Structure 1
């Protein structure tokens, strides 16, 4: 296998063009292959052992709830402790493996995933309810993360360029980045491959060992990644695959005295709980646990009267309803100046009503939400919205044997309304009117979150003001607020959106390392 190295410039993985017949045929073949493998039982992976437990997680297709994706073994505290001890032992050898050698496992895995891109995407279509393009983007991002972090690990190990030191006569000084230890990786279900892969490989390529507790709604996709890493020869015990409940396994490992760091992506509520539990020092603990957290958002798009209104409407609809609004970057709010407000409402309504809801494997634009809990929560918010704003379109369940909800738009929503303040994580958009662009920015900023945002205008002075004053980790001008690319758009937010960890950025690996200065007299 010809492997890329750090000397080759990083380039983002290309997205598949599904307008081409050969790509549509390849995707259909992958879906058929994956469907023939449904219903299997998947074990835990702890070191060299694969363990099938009596308790199982049943993963179902959210777009066709009668279809079982697989049965996944469920860890308890005793198995979590076994995994911890395995990871601790493995860390003693893995931390000594040169970064360039660790990186080769990621390069190999990226190469194999690229060869099997349609198959990995097909798993997400069926288990996560993504349409073909959303699943393909997820797989492409997973490949990007592995390629990017592998290069970064090599760069940090071989160069002093990140933190050049002031020369001192008669001394040889060096700052190196050494691994932390054993970490708990808790990824979300909404990017079940990309974020799982990114969080896990960033940790292991930095020299740490990992306890991977995937989301309970998408554990089979995480197992496909685990199997891939075993296939490329990653030493046993570097990644330990231990699905389990957050209350039992998650809390146990978060409070464990040997846990060195917790890398989490998910809701604000769970992130704050992890932060609180990890802040308590357990008996025998000799460090402050490091928390790397991305906790969601209530993102929005601001449109002024000078903007390209057609482009702005398209961006608002794409940001709000891509993957059914189940992205932490989803643009669930829009603030539009009053002089173009009614015109924009018409454009947004028309574009939203063009979205077709249906089975993801048939590649409908809009699919299901992830599970029954999300389904009921979103429908409850829609009822709240009917009292807080004017329903433009949608507002109800959609047909299908799954968790389908109509793409829903509310107009005339006040900035302090629950629809504007609380993360719904579904296909619901709230629109508010502003007297001018400054008020629109103020309304945008009036939230406890601060992840992504977008500003539409052709006035350079206003754009400059927005760049300075819109308070979020990722701000885009004249484009949608979703779709961050590895290397180009380091991703992470402010306030209750998390620790601004900037996944896919040039300082991300530093979060999984500690800097050690060595000084030697010549």
Structure 2
């Protein structure tokens, strides 16, 4: 009935006709800026006096749109609506739930460039990065829909004479989804539709800098046949509703992607049993990384340069998978550093509404101040080899920055910066390079650039990350191809986009019949 899953293709912007079509989409999106968007609770549109503005990080004066702000009273209404909808949605056939996702994926595919253009405006993504973000969102819907159909009858277990046994999956209840702003469509979509397609209902609290793309997506789900109350759109200030969502006794599931500090706070609070709560809350968390590109002495230098630059400076380094550390064998350290510096000096930074810019702004003032603060620290901890400049006169722009000769234990080698800053250090042996790569509290992604088969095999068992890449960059996981999640303080290693991801949103149930 359904075609096999295929990764959504990326747009080839080297073709003039594709650039023209995308520019038209940008023009169309710019004509829709400044609208007010309501909360959506049980299908009802709710406008409140308090609003949250979404601001273009490349142009602080430009308002992308505004959404109404939820409060604890509205959150209670959303839980009631979700709980009511759950009673029907949980017994809706898996095929029918999946079909909502198939229709939504088709709708997003038809308007793909407009969704991408919105990401360019709302979070400052370059065209290629925005296009990939939307492609990943489509992938999540297509992949999880097919996964649910495969899981609909459960898994086979043994029966014996006079007995018939079944092992099936059932949903858990109401899920709270708290996605990040950096993959404002992809992760928001994936962590919303996963609980939804498995039969749970959802309260979606999007990241504050990326509320408009989330509002558009919930509208798309409604247009695709989603019943009222299945996904409730409740943006708001974390300080006002964050703990309330986590603590609520009707919360069964929590899916969060963001900082280590917030993730560990959620993990702790979710363990506390609230009055009226009769279940343990399940928590799925991804908390970031401090990811390393290891370059062996026999590495192909051009491959290494491409891997380092793409890993460190794609979307201005604002990825949990960004390669913000480069550990290089001492025999090729100077040569590689020189090549990377030359390449980085060619990177242009500016407003990504133009295709000409490789790098755009960082997301907001808070990020700008944090990153420039780390650049100041880097000047004390290493040698500034490239970049170091910044400009917040119109938007939040920071030059791609390289620090050389940094100690493995330095702050800029240990702490997640989440910006276009990379630190280089040298190792006297390959084994030492892997040891350095492992010396942080994180374990999300990593890359090894080497032509030595024994060294690659060594990394498979000694490089402690959830996603390990050989002879390529350490970013850019594709749904169904590179299930994504990390070890250690990078989170619960839930492996988004993988074959067992949906199982985390369901209870397995054993049914045994005496015949």
Q: Report what 1:444 is aligned to.
A: 437
* 3-state SS of 1:65 partner: coil
Instruction: Report deviation, 1:316.
Output: 0.4
- For 1:241-390, list aligned pairs within 5 A: 241-363=233-355, 364-390=357-383
2:264 is paired with a residue of what secondary structure?
helix
Normalised by the length of structure 2, the TM-score is 0.99
8 A contact 1:395–1:407 mirrored in 2 = yes
How well do the aligned residues superpose, as a CA RMSD in angstroms?
A: 0.9
* 1:494 counterpart (487, 490, 493): 487
Equivalent residue runs for 1:66-145 within 5 Å = 66-145=61-140
* Residue 48 (structure 1) shift: 2.2
CA distance in 2, matches of 1:139, 1:378: 27
Residues 307-359 of structure 1: per-residue CA shift (max 9 Å, x gap): 10111111101100000000000000000010000001001101111110011
State which of 134, 145, 151 in structure 1 corresponds to 2:146.
Answer: 151
Q: Deviations over 1:224-277 (max 9, x none)?
A: 101100111200100000001112211101001110011000011100011111
CA contact (8 A) 1:213 1:241 kept: yes
Specify which of 38, 42, 45 is matched with residue 50 of structure 1.
Answer: 45
Q: Deviations over 1:340-387 (max 9, x none)?
A: 000010011011111100111112100000000000000000000000
Measure the CA separation in 2 of the matches of 1:9 and 1:41: 39
In the alignment, structure 1 segments of 5+ residues that lack a partner are: none
CA distance in 1: counterparts of 2:382 and 2:305, whole angstroms: 19
| 2:411 matches 1:413 | no
Between the aligned partners of 1:227 and 1:408, the Cα distance in structure 2 is 40
Matches within 5 A, 1:396-475: 396-398=389-391, 401-475=394-468
- Deviation for aligned residue 1:400: 6.2
Q: Distance in 1 between matches of 2:36 and 2:146?
A: 35
- Please, which runs of 5 or more residues in structure 2 have no aligned partner? none
Q: Distance in 2 between matches of 1:159 and 1:221?
A: 34
Q: Is the 8 A contact 1:38 1:69 kept in 2?
A: yes
The answer on whether the counterparts of 1:358 and 1:400 sit within 8 Å (CA) in structure 2 is no
Q: SS where residue 224 of structure 1 aligns?
A: helix
CA distance in 2, matches of 1:317, 1:183: 38
Of 202, 205, 214 in structure 1, the residue corresponding to residue 206 of structure 2 is 214
> Aligned to 1:25, which of 13, 17, 20?
20
- 1:179 pairs with 128, 146, 171, which one? 171
Contact 1:357 1:398 in 2 (8 A): no
Distance in 2, matches of 1:453 and 1:48, equals: 43
Distance, in Å, in 1 between the alignment partners of 2:170 and 2:311 is: 39
How many angstroms apart in 1 are the aligned matches of 2:178 and 2:132? 21
1: CA distance, partners of 2:436 / 2:305: 19
User: Does the 8 Å contact 1:452/1:475 carry over to 2?
Assistant: yes
* CA distance in structure 1 between the partners assigned to 2:165 and 2:153 by the alignment: 14
Native 8 Å contact 2:154 2:167 kept in 1: no
Task: Please state how far the C-alpha of 1:420 moved relative to its aligned partner.
Answer: 0.5
Is the 1:388–1:414 Cα contact (8 Å) retained in structure 2? yes
Deviations 1:445-494 (A, max 9, x none): 00000000001111111110011100000000111000001001000001
Match of 1:198 in 2: 190
- 1:73 Cα offset (Å): 0.5
Q: Partner of 1:307: helix, strand, or coil?
A: coil
